[in-house]
Structure 1
Amino acid sequence: MIKHTNTKHSSGEAEGEITSVVNRRLFLRSAGLATSLGTIVIAAGCKDDDDPIPGTGDAVDLGSGDIGVLNYAYALEQLEAAFYTQVIQTPYNGMTDAEKTILTDIRDHEIVHRDFFKAALADKAIKGLTPNFDSIDFTKRDAVLGAAKLFEDTGVAAYNGAGKLIKNPNYLLLAGKIVSVEARHASVIRDLINPKSADFAGDDIIDMNGMDKAIAPADILMAVKGYVKDTISGPNVGK
């Protein structure tokens, strides 16, 4: 089962800021992310007013620089949160109590991640995306866990690939905290599919040096475009 770690904020003021933006109960289940919210909100608020505001055209433009990277992560977290919310709302046939507990925990993590980015980006955030899960049969265990494996592996590779584009060290720290949680998700999903095997860190995702894959934003957006109805544009992410 996925464990949760409660964290304490550095000051009452920081905690007040966090709880006013995102549900506090979810932040206490966020695997250590809550302590970073005050920093990232302040840093995002200090961006120049001339920075482009994403999502103002026919396509959803992620924006540029670090804001573009954060919106890129926000888009992926929206997709994952929507997926796991659907999984729990319409459990697949034969879902065990243990599986439901694990998948519920993952859902709650992804909701925290999504709401975290939305709050941090404030008026720089892209709009809420509309998922397209028509290709997934949510009544079948293999289909759901197969999709979960795809989303989690993609999420880890996406954060790894975007890390080098991040200029603000606070954002890089945040990305490191989140990708570690996503990797835990990926491992537990793989174990549900193939219990007690070495597939939790299979050679399809880990290279000969023991490193996870790192995939560029353009390739990730191409890979997930079939799962979202909006057209996402990110040519300037990290630039």
Structure 2
Amino acid sequence: MERIAGTNTNSDNEGQKLSSKVDRRSFLMSAGIAASVGAAMVACTKDHEPTPGAGGSVDLGSGDVGVLNYAYALEQLEAAFYTQVIATPYDSISEAERTILTDIRDHEIIHRDFFKAALTAAAPTAIIPALEVDFSSINFKNRDSVLGAAKLFEDTGVAAYNGAGNLIKTADYLVLAGKIVSVEARHASVIRDLLKQNTADFAGDDVVDNDGLDKAIDPAVILAAVKPFLKTNVTGANVGK
């Protein structure tokens, strides 16, 4: 938050832009590495491919590829949401809020592109298609509507990664998922702080239990929670199996 509140010189701003570009390239390079690691795993499995469904539905598939498709689906949803938020900002959005939401948008696009690159290289016949979203229930001109939806997506994303962790069989993917979920948790906390500043809600007891642990929710429950925001029917009964 200090970066947002402070005053930067033009040189500082240019340095931040350059750093952001370097970070993005580094992240996408790691996607290529992960895809190469995954290729051997995919070659040994025959049950990973998603099954096309009727009426614009898609099944995520099974095994680690099913888990990666699951994460890819969620990142598609989040990237599309924040892209719309920045394209049509809500009324009276502050510069600080715009900066935060732009940063989150950029992170989600990187996450989406990571999974797309990994799946395309490792399992090109198994990757799910681009999903069709439905944000008709969100008023993008209203701050509470936008931040309320962002809170839902971020809290759901953290719980989804936590719930899928025990389904991942390849250690390299588990490490990468752990790195991504930590970023999603940062998103969740800053969105909660925007909604209720200077409170303990950034880690409220609705998402963190008495042992200080985040919730871990199974894919079936997560997919049901995000279903209203997707026109594409996504099923994942075999994720991780």
Q: TM-score range by the shorter chain?
A: 0.7 to 0.9
CA shift at 1:45, angstroms?
A: 2.0
CA shift at 1:37, angstroms?
A: 1.9
| Cα separation, 2, equivalents of 1:191 and 1:30 | 26
Counterpart of 2:211? 209
Counterpart of 1:43? 37
Given that 1:33 and 1:177 are in contact with CA atoms closer than 8 Å, whether structure 2 keeps it comes out as no
Counting only pairs closer than 5 Å after superposition, residues 20-39 of structure 1 correspond to structure 2 as 28-30=22-24, 33-34=27-28, 36-39=30-33
Counterpart of 1:11? none
- Higher helix proportion, which one? 2
Counting only pairs closer than 5 Å after superposition, residues 45-194 of structure 1 correspond to structure 2 as 45-46=39-40, 47-48=42-43, 50-54=46-50, 56-58=52-54, 59-122=57-120, 123=124, 124-194=126-196
TM-score, normalised relative to structure 2: 0.85
Given that 1:137 and 1:144 are in contact with CA atoms closer than 8 Å, whether structure 2 keeps it comes out as yes
TM-score, normalised relative to structure 1: 0.86
Consecutive unaligned residues in structure 2, runs of 5 or more: 4-17
CA shift at 1:50, angstroms?
A: 3.3
State the AA in 2 paired with 1:132: D
| Alignment: residue pair count | 219
State the AA in 2 paired with 1:28: V
Given that 1:221 and 1:232 are in contact with CA atoms closer than 8 Å, whether structure 2 keeps it comes out as yes
Counterpart of 2:228? 226
The one of 193, 200, 211 aligned to 2:202 = 200
Given that 1:162 and 1:216 are in contact with CA atoms closer than 8 Å, whether structure 2 keeps it comes out as yes
- Which protein has the larger Cα radius of gyration, Structure 1 or Structure 2? 2
| Cα separation, 2, equivalents of 1:102 and 1:93 | 16
Given that 1:2 and 1:105 are in contact with CA atoms closer than 8 Å, whether structure 2 keeps it comes out as no
Consecutive unaligned residues in structure 1, runs of 5 or more: 4-23
